[in-house]
Structure 1
Amino acid sequence: MKKYTLLLVLFFALTNAFAQVKTQYFDENWKPVIQEDMVYYRPEPKAVNGKYLFKDYYKSGKLQFEGFSLSKTEEKFDGEVKYFAENGKISGTSEFRNGVLDGSVKTYFEDGRLRQDATVKNGEEESAVLYTYKGTDINGSLSLYDLMTFFDHDERVKQIIYDGDPKGIRQESYLSEGKAKYYGPDGKLLGELIFDLYGNPNNGTMIEFDFNPMKVSATRVFVDGKEQQLEKI
């Protein structure tokens, strides 16, 4: 009888040991590795209100990721998840539904400024806005202006060149429509231009800008592809 009891105790002890989810270790590509080779690690997820809270950490112990999963052993995230740089600043957020990306997806530069703001539906990106800021390096040159680029699925449809305030002085280019609109410092419309099929000015008023700071430098009027008036400021 005592022998049977001892075997029963050992059986439950072993069962519990195997049932426990130990800390997992990953390399820079999130491939499982031993502790000595880790770049990131994930402690056992905790049960919270019917879900499981996943938290990933850098080797330094700084938080890298947190989000709720519907499963303790699978990354079936539900709700908003957050990503963090090692300096503690948020680097991105994503919304999931039943394990699938569905909703807002945002990423940030190291200084905290917005880098991308996208909308995803059932795992497929529907729209996105990419941000480039004045003074950032673009192919070896520093940008002279702030820029927002809008995408509809994979198609680039609109761009806004501006200086700090996207509702202030700016140029809006509607790439899929072949036209541009120009606005002054007060946000009022200064001119609108229609381009031909080859991207050349066709009809309307073109406003040229200088930068640092952004200001109007010239006004050009086109009729049927021919320039009628040039007014330098």
Structure 2
Amino acid sequence: MKKGNFKMLLITLSCFFFTQSASSQSKIYFDEEWNTTTKEEAHFYRILYKKDDSLYHVKDFYINGILQMEGFFSDLDKEIFEGEIVWYTDEGKISEKSNYKKGVLHGLSVVYLENEKIDYTTKYIDGRVYEGVVLGGYYKQFFEKGELVKYVEFEAPNDFRNLQTRVYGVERDTIYWMNNQGDKLIGVGIYDSKNSNIIDGLNISNSLLISVHTNYKDSKREGVQKVFYEGKLLSEQIFLDNIIVLERSINPLTLETVEINFKDGEPYNGQLFQFNQIYEYYNEFIYKEGIVIIKNHYELVDGKLILNLEKSYKKQVED
């Protein structure tokens, strides 16, 4: 064998082994939490190879061989994304495509529906949202030129809480209060953009299963305020210039409406029921000229309201 042929053989063998090394990468196996594991316990596996001195080409697969993610890492240990990264469902359909620079979102991000049509897009600049939509667990945020312009709730945490759509302004924000399903407008409130305090219209506040609907005028309570528990009306108060003048509440024993009037913002004459949602009890008060003459304490026992005499009393009133 001539010397020249020997050199050619060495070159051919070198190319052969290089090709084999690049095309037959070892697999790294991961469990369902993306911790490294054995082949037998794996839910995913990864194949990677070095693209150049700074980038690794990474392909993640579901254990059945369907591609789960493809893109480039600049650091394997820290899994720092670089450039375009694409994710796929377990059916092989594209679910998301995002661009990164040094591990942070930079450029266009696209999220797809199950039919692979675009759901929404977001543009990032150095990790900050510049344009488009950001999806939360139960809401969407809309951005324009780096500013939040709209917040939309599309799912309530329970069957009784109202949804809101908030449109942000320079000095005033507008909230459109919707029903639990988001298909019926309940009312509109105008808020101060700086401190989010209500100025005019409807405000809804929620606490556990209690929901309070209050009307405002010039930052003061005006008109009807309604209190709901699990979507059912408990009571309603009437306000004039931020001062309560009348309250109607539901008698839980008869489901009839009782009424009490107020003087200088304090209960004066009539009957009133108050509900404690934490311990699930009712207090009944009967007032006469600002004095409680009867207090009855009802506790929920096996689904029934039982009068607790030890926590109740009746005041003797002279004629």
Contact 2:105 2:128 in 1 (8 A): no
Contact 2:88 2:95 in 1 (8 A): yes
Equivalent in the alignment of 2:224: 230
Quote the offset at 1:182 in angstroms: 1.8
* Letter in structure 1 aligned against 2:134: V
CA deviations over 1:200-220 (Å, ceiling 9, x no partner): 42x21115499xxxxxx9561
* Letter in structure 2 aligned against 1:206: L
CA deviations over 1:169-189 (Å, ceiling 9, x no partner): 853164996633326789999
Paired residues for 1:52-67 under 5 Å: 55-66=59-70
Secondary structure at the residue paired with 1:132? coil
Contact 1:120 1:126 in 2 (8 A): yes
Task: Select the structure that is richer in strand.
Answer: 2
* Letter in structure 2 aligned against 1:181: I
Secondary structure at the residue paired with 1:227? strand
Equivalent in the alignment of 1:130: 135
Equivalent in the alignment of 1:13: 13
Equivalent in the alignment of 2:45: 40
Q: Give the CA RMSD over aligned residues.
A: 5.6
Tell me how far apart the structure 2 counterparts of residues 209 and 62 of structure 1 sit (CA, whole Å).
Answer: 47
Paired residues for 1:151-162 under 5 Å: 158-162=150-154
Contact 1:119 1:126 in 2 (8 A): yes
Residue of 191, 201, 208 corresponding to 2:188: 191
**In the alignment, does 2:78 pair up with 1:83?**
no
- Relative to structure 1, is the Cα distance of residues 205 and 25 closer, same or farther in structure 2, using a 3 angstrom cutoff? same
Q: Percent identity?
A: 23
Q: 190-199 or 110-119, which moves further after superposition? A: 110-119
* Letter in structure 2 aligned against 1:65: M
Residue of 125, 149, 155 corresponding to 2:141: 149
Tell me how far apart the structure 1 counterparts of residues 100 and 165 of structure 2 sit (CA, whole Å).
Answer: 35
Quote the offset at 1:32 in angstroms: 9.6
Secondary structure at the residue paired with 2:5? helix
CA deviations over 1:25-82 (Å, ceiling 9, x no partner): 234498999988974233779xxxxxxx97542332111124699xxxxx9966x542
Tell me how far apart the structure 1 counterparts of residues 193 and 123 of structure 2 sit (CA, whole Å).
Answer: 32
Residue of 201, 216, 225 corresponding to 1:221: 216
Equivalent in the alignment of 2:165: 171
**In the alignment, does 2:115 pair up with 1:118?**
no
TM-score (norm 2): 0.41
Task: Tell me which structure has the larger Cα radius of gyration.
Answer: 2
**In the alignment, does 2:197 pair up with 1:205?**
no
Quote the offset at 1:196 in angstroms: 8.4
Equivalent in the alignment of 1:26: 28
Quote the offset at 1:131 in angstroms: 3.4
Tell me how far apart the structure 1 counterparts of residues 154 and 49 of structure 2 sit (CA, whole Å).
Answer: 47
Tell me how far apart the structure 2 counterparts of residues 163 and 100 of structure 1 sit (CA, whole Å).
Answer: 29
- Relative to structure 1, is the Cα distance of residues 198 and 3 closer, same or farther in structure 2, using a 3 angstrom cutoff? closer
* Letter in structure 2 aligned against 1:220: N
Tell me how far apart the structure 2 counterparts of residues 26 and 176 of structure 1 sit (CA, whole Å).
Answer: 52
Contact 2:113 2:119 in 1 (8 A): yes
TM-score (norm 1): 0.52
Aligned length: 194
CA deviations over 1:124-168 (Å, ceiling 9, x no partner): 3234512334xxxxxxxxxxxxx223578999775223479xxxx
Runs of 4+ in 1 over 6 A off after TM superposition: 29-38, 108-116, 151-157, 183-189
Tell me how far apart the structure 2 counterparts of residues 148 and 197 of structure 1 sit (CA, whole Å).
Answer: 21
Give structure 2 stretches of 5+ with no counterpart.
51-56, 74-79, 157-162, 207-211, 227-232, 234-319
Tell me how far apart the structure 2 counterparts of residues 94 and 196 of structure 1 sit (CA, whole Å).
Answer: 32
- Relative to structure 1, is the Cα distance of residues 32 and 116 closer, same or farther in structure 2, using a 3 angstrom cutoff? farther
